[in-house]
Structure 1
Amino acid sequence: MTRPSAAPSGNLGAYRRLRQIFATFEGEHKPAYCTSEADLSYAGLYNHARSLAEQLQTRTGGGQRKPILIFGHKDIRYPVAYWACLLAGHPLIPVEPETPIARISQIAEACGASVLLYAAADTLQFASELAGTPLTVVPVPDPLSRCRPRAAQLPRVETIADQDHAYVMFSSGTLGQPKGIAVTYANLVDFIGWLDGLYPDTVEMTAVSGVIRHCFDVSLFELWMSWSRRIPLVALDHADFANSTAYLDRLAEHGTGLWVSTPSITRLFLKNRRFNGAHLPHLRSFVFCGEVLTKKIAAALIDRFPGCRITNTYGPTECTVAVTSVDITDRHMKSQRDLPIGVARPGTRLESMALADGGDGGELLVRGGSVGAGYVGLPGKTKAAFPEPNLYRTGDRGFLGMDGLWYFVGRIDREVKIQGVRINLNDIETHLRNLPEVEDVVVEPQMLRGVPHALAAYVLGPCKLADLTQLPARLAAELPPYLVPRYWYADFPAGLNQNSKFDRSRLADAAAHARLRHIHMPSNVAQVAQEEPA
């Protein structure tokens, strides 16, 4: 398969590069986006996206290109809406169906959007729910229906600049207000060029997994690996997450060769014994982003998929999905350190700025073509996080190892003070993840009348009380008593948030429903009543 030549945006123009990729879809009848209910071909994607792009231009008269919300999950209408926005020059904003109407209204107001593309089958009830908002709901037509595109006049190449916004991802901001992270056409094309280097045409690839929600930018790994190679993306509806066997069968049917995931999603799939190389013989490559990749997950994949390639990446949404990568080797697995996050991608540079606390590493700074355009409508926050053009302060702690690879330590703001002692929660989690019984863990302060008074550990892995009660002693052999959590919870429903990560917002619910609980009393603390945590 021949891909469109990758040229720097300065020579070709970012928008022209995307148009070049899109042009390869015309007349291509191979599947592009596959759900459990239907497959959309590349030809269908081409025809319907071009037709919808013309409709969007007609609505705006080819003038101001305001952001457009795309409401949908894993539906064949979604890529049609995505490409229509890119082609027409409207910044696209993914919105998941679980998003409350009030939140959707906040997002629209924050970015000045007036149109919402409804990338699902039934719009009637949703349109009525939005009746009190300034948003106009535009249903995305069924791309399996007959499409008669007119001679759509797409924008002239020169009218869409490299620094125009291609998409905006919203995260929670201060006081729950949505914070829109803007990424430009130039940023996006820089990311696509990096993928071409990570997985060149010489790497055989027949299909890509589609497990990441589209509101999470890690999904761009899936979308653009699929589109740049014109291979299927095999989408998983998160409502059908429990039925992993059916999804694995679909991956096998399409000969899926690349798995893109957060570690939390892969941990869930590893519980299914059919997630292995015998059932998925084409699956040889795994890409991780969004969370810390543990050696336990990597070792399990190496055991299930002998000879596989595991690529660990790191990067904030503000810097176009990811900025570093490394292929995990046996040397990394045997090292005493956690797995590295690798080296910076071409055109991007990482730096470490010293911190006053004197802890491991410094704040990671990102410079270069991956750095996005800042926060929509928030000049103060943009100036603080992007103090110079093409420079982003991540708020993450990391360091450059003697091996030339970068290592992630954790968030700088994950420090708390308990009874006058400053505690780094990342450090405790790192030690716990290295214990054999622990698959993953979150450590948070236990609050008493609004003040941190102890530490609580929420542990994935132990399924017996005896295993859980041994963990504090094991940890105490490595750390001082004040770093050993008092409250321990295990065997609870481990939900995923909309970014497919361990849902830290539901820890109170996890504590309430944990089937295993333990209160650890350090030897230097007098025996007191075994009170329940506040």
Structure 2
Amino acid sequence: MASARVLHTLFEQQRHQTPDAIALRSDTETLTYRQLDQRANAMASDLLQRGVKPKDVVGIYLNKSPNLIVSLLGVLKTGACYLPLDPYYPHERLDYMVNHADARLVITDNAHALTLAPSHREIVDINQIDLSVQATHTLPSVSEEQLCYVMYTSGSTGTPKGVMVSHRTVVNYLAWMQSAFVLQHDDVVLNQSTFSFDVSVWEIFWPLIAGASCAVITEDAKYDPQLLAEFMHRHQVTVAQFVPTALRVIVDAEVLSRCTSLCHIFSGGEALDQTLVNDLSLQYPGKIHNLYGPTEATIFACHWLCQPGAEEKIAPIGKPIPHAIAYVLDEAQQPVDVGESGELYLAGDILAKGYLHAEKLTQERFVDDPFSRQTGQKMYKTGDWVKQRVDGVLEFIGRIDSQVKLRGHRIELAEIETHIQALPQINHAAVILEKRSENAAPSLSAFYVLRHQKHIDIQEIKAHLAKTLPFFMVPSHFVALEKMPTHPNGKIDKSKLCSCINN
């Protein structure tokens, strides 16, 4: 008997309660809970027949669609975990992930099968599976400690690292979301995040275990604010999530006024500028939430309900959610005083099981928790600088690895970015330390995107920064961009900023 603390079991329980309710919506297809479960069972049966076993890793290489979600559920029902393979990733990276994870097979379609690099893995074309048949295999028992997914994130060495996340911590997170925000059966949650970004886990599975609907938008439409707004209006979306960079584009397009059904907007993955919160509130009357957490802490670990008009330049990341514990520690891993800054460590029943096939790295980042009364407990070293207020609210300062040294001074790049973005003419800013030529000394370069129909002189930016920052923190170079280069998950890709200068 599968545990009730397993993701697909919770979906199955909901399927028995509301079999004819709409589970998935898209512009091409609508599936009820009964239909989705039947297709997922057929998928699971096919995978079991191909030799997939509990605890295997199964790669999924598909664009966002109802078939993608059928595949996710089908894999979980076999007792295996899924490995997201984003079609927008370079082939070399995909091949590394498939081989490093030792994926049993890869589910794809005929549009993508030929683009996979040779990996000596079985390639399964989902279009060749008859998803209309009744399942012929008995589904295995699955425990909450088994892996739900392995998700690869960027590694500081340049090699991606696979984060192993169990059913238990995913269910803990979704249980908090449902208790905090209570999806009703008529709610519709937008699935716009790429499934290689862990936010997609709650976009897909939160509605499916709560009896609500998941609305799946195509990759093309999600990047066009007009098409995105039309989709949300057409499907009466009530809950949506965007990284701040994407949210700024949507706000600037002034399309949210037509999304009258929208009640909750969640944002995470980057620092949330308070100016963006204020601008968003002028178009959208619902609630705005800031979520914080690394993949290693199972999606998000902290929550803050944003207040339009608040004095902070950056929205706080809030307080830990249930099952999560936050420590603000100094370099000796001792608590800092309230109001002092330190590194954020996360603990509790939210942590991933570590990194796949990377014991040493796991030991470096998941360290013993000296504050726990239970032996063997771990805490995760986030690499983020935060400050804890008297009321317990955490304020994000920046990444430790975004600190640089310039002429002997330690500089927090995020602090400079915050001050540039405080100018009313500027939407986004990103700052890097670079050498413009082989023999040149390192210098700070700032990249910025203007608000619609706005203009600013570089001397005005420098004068503004000189009022609040020491001279060595004022960038030497300023580059205006039409838009920031981004990763597939929507976050700013700072590695591409240098090429913006050359172009």
TM-score by length of 2: 0.90
CA distance in 2 between counterparts of 1:55 and 1:383 reads 38
Identify the residue that residue 450 of structure 2 maps to in structure 1.
461
Residue 316 of structure 1 aligns with which residue? 294
The letter of the residue matching 1:347 is H
Q: How far did residue 13 of structure 1 move?
A: 4.9
Partner residue in 1 for 2:40: 49
Q: 1:356 to 1:456 in 2, by over 3 A?
A: farther
Cα distance in 2, alignment partners of residues 356 and 418 from structure 1: 25
Gaps of 5+ in 2: 369-376
1:251 pairs with 2:232? yes
Output one character per residue of 1:342-362: Cα deviation in whole Å (capped at 9) or x when no partner.
110111110011148999511
Q: Which runs of 5+ in 1 are unaligned?
A: 1-10, 514-534
2:328 is the alignment partner of 1:352: yes
Whether the aligned pair in 2 keeps the contact of 1:77 and 1:141 (CA below 8 Å) is: no
Aligned residues with identical type, % of pairs: 23
State the match for 2:29 in structure 1. 38
- 1:149 maps onto 2:138 in alignment: no
Q: What per-residue deviation string (whole Å, max 9, x for no partner) do you get for residues 190-247 of structure 1?
A: 111111122124x685211222111100112311232123333222322334543233
Kindly indicate whether residue 303 of structure 2 is the aligned counterpart of residue 328 of structure 1: no
* Aligned partner of 1:430 among 418, 431, 435: 418
Q: Deviations over 1:61-109 (max 9, x none)?
A: 7x45310111012122100110011111111111111223322221122
- Contact 1:251 1:280 (C-alpha < 8 Å) held by counterparts: yes
Q: 2:404 aligns with which of 411, 416, 419?
A: 416
Number of aligned positions between the proteins:
487
Matches of 1:242 and 1:250 in 2, distance apart? 12
Asked whether the equivalents of residues 396 and 411 of structure 1 are also in contact (C-alpha less than 8 Å), the reply is yes
The corresponding residue for 1:528 is: none
The within-5 A match list for 1:73-472 is 73-118=63-108, 120=109, 122-123=110-111, 126-130=112-116, 132-141=118-127, 147-156=132-141, 160-201=142-183, 206-276=187-257, 279-306=258-285, 308-330=286-308, 333-336=309-312, 338-355=314-331, 361-388=341-368, 389-447=377-435, 448-449=437-438, 453-461=442-450, 466-472=456-462
Task: Work out whether residues 169 and 217 of structure 1, in 8 Å CA contact, stay in contact via their aligned partners in 2.
Answer: yes
Answer yes or no: is the 8 Å Cα contact 2:386–2:398 preserved in 1: yes
Change (3 A) 1:204 1:296: farther
Shift, 1:364, TM fit: 0.3
Aligned to 2:371: none
- Asked if the contact 1:262/1:289 (under 8 Å) is kept, the reply is yes
Would the aligned equivalents of 2:178 and 2:210 in 1 still touch at CA under 8 Å?
no
- 1:492–1:510 Cα contact (<8 Å) kept: no
Which whole-Å CA distance do the structure 1 matches of 2:455 and 2:275 have between them?
Answer: 21
Deviations 1:350-405 (A, max 9, x none): 00111489995111000101111010000010000001334111011112112221
Counterpart CA distance in 2 for 1:301 and 1:237 is 24
Q: Deviations over 1:419-449 (max 9, x none)?
A: 2322221221222222322222111012142
Per-residue CA deviations over 1:258-295 (Å, capped at 9, x if unaligned) read 1111111111112323322xx12111211111011111
Q: CA deviation at 1:175?
A: 4.1
1:67 maps to 2:57:
yes
SS in 2 for 1:208: strand
Shift of 1:336: 4.0
Q: Against the structure 1 CA distance between its residues 184 and 456, is the aligned structure 2 distance closer, same or farther, given a 3 Å change threshold?
A: same
Q: What pairs up with 1:485-504 in 2 under 5 angstroms?
A: 485-504=475-494
Question: How many angstroms apart in 1 are the aligned matches of 2:186 and 2:249?
Answer: 24
Instruction: Report the secondary structure of 1:48's partner residue.
Output: helix
Q: Structure 1 residues 128, 225: closer, same or farther in 2, change over 3 A? A: closer
- What is the distance in 2 between the residues matched to 1:233 and 1:150? 24
- Indicate yes or no: 2:9 matched with 1:19: yes
**Code of the aligned partner of 1:456:** S
Match for 1:318: what amino acid? E
CA–CA distance in structure 1, aligned partners of residues 477 and 399 of structure 2? 22
Segment drifting more, 19-28 vs 244-253: 19-28
Native 8 Å contact 2:3 2:9 kept in 1 = no
What is the CA–CA distance in structure 1 between the aligned matches of 2:385 and 2:171, rounded to whole Å? 28
Q: Tell whether the 8 Å contact from 2:41 to 2:135 is kept in structure 1 after alignment.
A: no
Secondary structure of 1:166's aligned partner: strand
1:269 and 1:275 in contact (8 A); partners too? yes
Q: Helix, strand or coil: the match of 1:499?
A: coil
Closer, same or farther: CA 392–71 of 1 in aligned 2, 3 Å: same
Alpha-carbon distance in structure 1 between the residues aligned to 2:144 and 2:312: 44
For residues 45 and 451 of structure 1, the distance between their equivalents in structure 2, rounded to whole angstroms, comes to 59
Quickly say closer, same or farther: Cα 1:57–1:65, change in 2 above 3 A.
Answer: farther
Instruction: Name the SS of the counterpart of 2:252 in structure 1.
Output: coil
Aligned partner letter, 1:107: M
Normalised to the residue count of structure 1, the TM-score between the two structures is: 0.85
